[in-house]
Copies of this chain bind each other. A is one copy, B any other.
Amino acid sequence: MSKVLIIGCGGVANVAIRKCCQNYEVFPEIMIASRTKSKCDDLKKKLENEKTIIHTAKVDADNVSELVSLINSFKPDTVLNLALPYQDLTIMDACLATKTNYVDTANYEPVDTAKFEYKWQWEYNERFTEAGITALLGSGFDPGVTSVFSAYAQKHYFDEINYIDILDANAGDHGYPFATNFNPEINIREVTAKGSYFENGDMIETEPMEIKRVYDFPQIGPKDMYLLHHEEIESLAKYIKGVKRIRFFMTFGQSYLTHLKCLENVGMTSIEPIDYNGMKIVPLQFLKALLPDPASLGPRTKGKTNIGCIFRGIKDNKEKTLYIYNVCDHEEAYKEVESQAISYTTGVPAMIGTMLVLNGQWRKPGVFNMEQFDPDPFMEALNKWGLPWQLDFNPKLVE
């Protein structure tokens, strides 16, 4: 009977927890802990007919001793961290202090520059090794499944992978002229941050949104996509031997970018407070109050996501190409777990990664990225738990 403590109760946690309940043989007992206990209680209430025993607790994930107390009282086998990305290190500290395994799903774009994010966590490797516990980093979709796809391609289809293009397409349509799934501040940073890609041993920096391509995605159709920095570039460059170039592309619609640009131009995305009738108001906070609540987008979003990797390399001295991707339908995801595909594609891998640590298949002392483990059980689980993948040996390449 292995217990899991899940920290965080947002959109991704909602999916991961429901998936744990579906997979109750592996997750017979969980605790959901968050700064706002009522959110945990609300979710628990919705899941009262599930077989998994659910506890709830209030915890401040910035506070190591509070985390240690909670872990010591609940005694989980593994902590699944679905809190904010800047709380990763306090939770890892608490896991070290209590000799508890650790899994996280790095946020799509962490608060600090993604480039340096892994460095901080990798520095925990020696301590986790000595403590005899596992830390599994970035068990979401991208990063996460994209690394598993890479390890799978490496294991079964290539002698050497030379080029990886990670393509993240969201063709969801919520019917609003403009709305964001996440904090608009994070969206702004995405499109205003410099891009970067790995080539011949170096990270090459680009201007924000400088490199644009159009790609005709399976089941979605042609979309504009832009080269961004993304954190798995760093770990793949380290663990995929012989790789010469790794790029990450994400789709953005022209209308979305235009709205974002206009809002930025008039100062609506600024975090500097302005004077308004004697009050100090942060324009971005006011914008957030004005935009549709991200939680309201789920029920009305139609369309699909397509996230995957195109590999080019050598097998038996011949050039070879492989595209592995998953297509996830927003409406079907919402029907199943009351979250659309953005949360679904992150929450499902979070559950799977935790399962593999729990059942020992991905359990060894140290701090690990996803591509360091045998991809086969993860790939099998993706098919079983709602994120089936496709192989295409003759994909259109990205220029």
Contact = CB atoms under 8 A, between A and B. Distances in A.
A267 interface: yes
Contact of A263 (B266, B277, B291): B266
Interface extent on A, as a size class?
20 to 34
A290 interface: yes
A99 B233 CA distance: 82
Contact of A178 (B259, B262, B275): B262
A289 interface: yes
A286 interface: yes
Contacts of A116: none
Contacts of A277: 289
Interface in A143-181: 177-178
Given A258-B258, A259-B265, A263-B266, A283 B274 contact: no
Contacts of A274: 289-290
A287 interface: yes
A283 B279 contact: no
A131 interface: no
18 contacts: A178-B262, A178-B265, A178-B266, A259-B265, A262-B262, A262-B263, A263-B263, A263-B266, A266-B268, A266-B287, A267-B291, A268-B287, A268-B290, A274-B289, A276-B281, A276-B285, A277-B289, A281-B286
Q: Which 6 A-B pairs have the closest CB atoms?
A: A177-B265, A262-B262, A259-B262, A276-B289, A267-B290, A178-B266
Given A258-B258, A268-B268, 9 more contacts: A259-B262, A259-B266, A263-B263, A263-B266, A267-B290, A274-B289, A274-B290, A276-B289, A277-B289
